[in-house]
Chain A
Amino acid sequence: MVLLAAAIGTWWFAGYAGQDRLGEIAIAAIFAMSLDLMVGYGGMVSLGHALFFGLGAYALAGLTLFLKWPPGLALPASVLLTGLVAFAIGRLIVHLGGVFFIMVTLAFGQMGWAWFARDRLFGGIAGLSGIPQIDLSLLGGDLANPADFAIVAVTAATMVYLALARLIESPFGAVVSALHRNAGRARALGCPVQSYKLAVFTIAAMLASLAGTLQAQRTGFVSPDLLVWTSSGELLIMVIIGGIGSLLGPIAGAALWTLLHHYLSAVTPYWMLIMGAFFIAIVLFAAEGLYGALARLAWRRPHV
């Protein structure tokens, strides 16, 4: 609730850059929540999540620029397409554990990057620009205007949050949590562990690709940097800073990291040092992340 109020307040008072930032944070929030679903609830740590983010964006670019689909249709299609790819990849790898899963997701992410960096149709390393935005003129809005885009993005983020909250409270979510805590016992009880993990993997990928399509709408371009492993790494940092295993945590983490990145880099060329130190401090002293720390301060048990 507080976050929503903060978002609305920012939207009201902030200038152009503030609203642009809000849209960016909303997209990052969706992306971060999707990773948290996989890591915090599903127990699968991925360093290749940016692959799905990028696939969503590139699919949107391909459908709208090459096949001339209207962006309103291309967006959900991109999410579905990415879901299919994720399902295929997931089937191969969800049974892997720990370090190996991390490495394989890293590999797939980098393979995706390498593919798009060489592919001339998609612009290679320079990427593609000129991606058309969904026409909201019937609703009186214009996505090119950051204020309008921020509304759309924040709404999307809120809907994702509510949907995920529902999912986690549902029987499906209960099973997933159980799996995370003790896969052996769950398997002993007859649970098809791998199927659930695959489902979580696919859903998380689709949400990431949703974030990717929104990003393509916001910026009007796609480039291989969307898929690079350091993007996945930074996403993991956002989730951890915010607090794994909650939903509000990643949102807070996304907001904090994005804002820090923008404002620190304007102040010093050595912002990475400060952010690294900050991250280490969080890991050492506030292991539950921002969310955990705030919740403890508020004397409530952290819940979704």
Chain B
Amino acid sequence: MKLLAAVAVAVAFTLPIGARSAEPIRVGLVLPYSAGPFVPLANELGDSLVMALEESGMEVAGRKIEILKEDTTHKPDVAQAKAKKLVFEDKVDLLVGPIGSNELAALFAFAAGSRIPLIIPNAGDNEATGEKCSPWVIRTSFSNDQIVREMGPWLIKQGIKTAALIAFDYTTGHQAMDGFKKPFIAAGGTIVGEQYPPFGPISDFGPYLTKIKEQKPDAVFTFFAGPPATALVKQFSEFGLKESIKLTAAGWLISPLNLPGEGDAAAGVIGILNYVPAIDNPVNKAFQQKFQAKYNRTASEFAAQGYDTGKLIYAALKANGGKTSDKAAFVKALHEVSVEGTRGPLKIDPKTNNIIQDIYIYEAKKVGDKVDFAVLNRIRNVQDAPNGCKL
């Protein structure tokens, strides 16, 4: 009896050691799941990220991948608190977040200070991979500048000579407009007007659109997302600007999330973005099919970013042999892998920690009684200059 007990104890002691060598890899998602304007984005992005990892079998080098989700409730201090919990209590190996720029400083401060890899799957503030870059913060989505700067030169080639700008009066709006302005002017264009409506709750663009009509530009370039984007597209048409002025924008203006509300008013609008559902490559086609079968909606650019982020994370984990104790090695692996994502070939630039990706210019076209997308141009391997980043 005593011998049996001793053997049992011995076995009990060895078993945990055996289990420890197959300790799961933990990925912490810190996203606004329940409050604020980004809830549907958080869900689409998060679900698609998990989808990508599931396709790879949810395991690397014998270790299972575990996903832990925490809700930031759209508040930066909560975001930071949840990130701390994930890292210090739940022992995640890396963090993914945020969606919106409002939570960026909070997560950035924590990740940079605690030396834990933070992967930004959306927020596009230029400085996060520019002047304020950190070796621990990697972005798989875009920088605001990266999205818009190729539009100006392309418009010039299409014969557009003058443009009027409009965006909300806050940093993201200004970054998007500034990013468009310089290359457009350098390519020979003229900006005939710039307006920055206050970042407020009621999106009535009447006075601004009327002023744009007075300015008589060939095209308007703008950045809006969410309900204000729907408002702008509709009002652009209602106030008659569509007849004589081309509406061009950072692609969120005509996101699949907004198209249903915009209806026919969206036809003819030209967008520039790192993703559009019409991208013709096998990865995207498979992704859209799977997403639509599951959710009965076209996958948005946010879902696509989530999916690509999942693929990048997996590739890096695999390249590093599934080891996560050395965080710096994981970041290094992220710099070295390249992945075929829904957007095309993707790579992380070691000089800025921002993604190198293709940018697409496309048009919303009326096809039958629906509005669909047609890709007009593809600019390959758009890479940010260091812009003050010293990595």
Contact = CB atoms under 8 A, between A and B. Distances in A.
B197 to A, nearest CB: 12
A58 to B, nearest CB: 12
Interface string B90-134: 000000000001111110111011000000000101011000100
A216 B110 CA distance: 12
Given A17-B88, A221-B80, A128 B71 contact: no
A117 interface: yes
Given A114-B198, A221-B108, A265 B34 contact: yes
A268 B81 CA distance: 17
A129 B170 contact: no
Interface string A222-264: 1111000000000000000000000000000000000001100
A128 B71 CA distance: 22
B198 A15 contact: no
30 contacts: A17-B81, A17-B84, A17-B85, A20-B81, A20-B85, A123-B127, A124-B170, A124-B172, A124-B174, A125-B102, A126-B123, A126-B127, A126-B171, A127-B76, A127-B105, A129-B109, A129-B132, A130-B109, A131-B109, A219-B76, A219-B106, A219-B109, A221-B109, A223-B102, A223-B105, A225-B102, A265-B78, A268-B34, A271-B73, A272-B35
B163 to A, nearest CB: 22
Contact of B34 (A120, A221, A272): A272
A225 B76 contact: yes
Interface string B43-85: 0000000000000000000000000001101011110110011
Interface in B246-279: none
Nearest to B84: A20
Which of A114, A130, A219 counts the most chain B CB atoms within 10 A?
A: A219
Given A20-B85, A126-B128, A224-B102, 13 more contacts: A16-B85, A114-B199, A118-B199, A125-B170, A126-B105, A126-B171, A127-B106, A128-B105, A219-B76, A220-B109, A220-B113, A223-B103, A261-B73
Contact of A271 (B34, B89, B109, B110): B34
A264 B109 CA distance: 25
A1 interface: no
Contact of B171 (A123, A265, A268): A123
3 pairs of A and B residues whose beta carbons are closest in the complex: A124-B171, A129-B109, A127-B105
Contacts of A219: 76-77, 80, 106, 109-110
A34 interface: no
A173 B169 CA distance: 44
Contacts of B307: none
A269 B110 contact: no
Contacts of B75: 225
A187 to B, nearest CB: 40
Given A17-B85, A117-B170, A222 B105 contact: yes
A137 to B, nearest CB: 17
Interface in A97-132: 114, 117-118, 120, 123-131
- Interface size of B as a range: 35 or more
A82 interface: no
B33 interface: yes
A265 B106 contact: no
Interface residues of A, number: 38
A297 interface: no
B44 to A, nearest CB: 15
B102 A24 contact: no
Contact of A266 (B71, B108, B110, B123): B71
What is the predominant secondary structure among interface residues of chain B facing chain A? helix
A273 B14 CA distance: 48
A123 B105 contact: yes
Interface in B332-352: none
A271 B33 CA distance: 11
Contact of B71 (A144, A220, A265): A265
Interface in A173-216: 215
Given A15-B89, A262-B81, A129 B199 contact: no
Contacts of B172: 124-125
Contacts of B88: 15-17
Contacts of A262: 78, 81
Contacts of B106: 127, 129, 219, 221, 223
A270 interface: yes
Contact of A16 (B89, B112, B127, B199): B89
Contacts of B169: 118
Given A221-B106, A225-B102, A265 B113 contact: no
A174 to B, nearest CB: 37
Which of A118, A126, A221, A268 counts the most chain B CB atoms within 10 A?
A: A126
Nearest to B174: A120
Nearest to A133: B113
A129 B84 contact: no
Contacts of B174: 120, 124
B199 A261 contact: no
Contacts of A127: 76, 102, 104-106
